[in-house]
Structure 1
Amino acid sequence: MPISKHLITSLYISLLLMHLLVEAKDEEMSTNVDRAGGSSYVPRMNCAAACEARCRLASRQNLCKRACGTCCARCNCVPPGTSGNHHLCPCYEAMTTHGGRRKCP
């Protein structure tokens, strides 16, 4: 029973498409760059949970969580504890408001 040319062609095209999709996914993962300028893939952290823990003692929790969420989304980092420790997350520490005050809680 001979194999038709159409079957061979369709198999070849589907293998080619799968190869291109795998290459595109590998390239996407290798081009994810962290804020420090490295070229390794860094998984995104759970900003909601990290900011919930960071802001649990704040007097204005909604404001704290909103600012923390913005900083976390940009830096992919939230310092441990409820305050301080900014030196452990340099990007988080460097962000300021228009008035020159620290943006991140």
Structure 2
Amino acid sequence: MSHVTFIEANGTEHGVDVDNGVSVMEAAIQNSVPGIDGDCGGNCACATCHVYIDPKWAPLTGERTQMEHDMLEFAEGVEPNSRLACQIHMTAELDGLVVRMPESQH
């Protein structure tokens, strides 16, 4: 089991424990973290789970796929550290992961 901290745009933090292998999006949905919609159910077919990866963690979360890059074109406020939470799956290496959420997913 690993821990991830979600930080809303207003600074409110939500720490959740999550089984390894579960996506960051699923962890947010399962723990009622506001600000992560996941409208497509984690199929990389929307951008409603857009998050900003804390720079310290970016190397461990992997690179964006082309599909993820394409979906992020629909998101607001995309930054170099933007990712789709559905494309990041928790591992023991990601224990302590910190992600920030944009003001809006639409």
Q: TM bucket by the smaller chain?
A: under 0.3
Q: Could you say which structure has the greater relative contact order, defined with CA pairs below 8 angstroms and 6 or more residues apart?
A: 2
Larger of the two Rg values belongs to structure: 1
Task: State TM-score, norm by structure 2.
Answer: 0.27
Q: Which structure is higher in strand share?
A: 2
Task: State TM-score, norm by structure 1.
Answer: 0.27
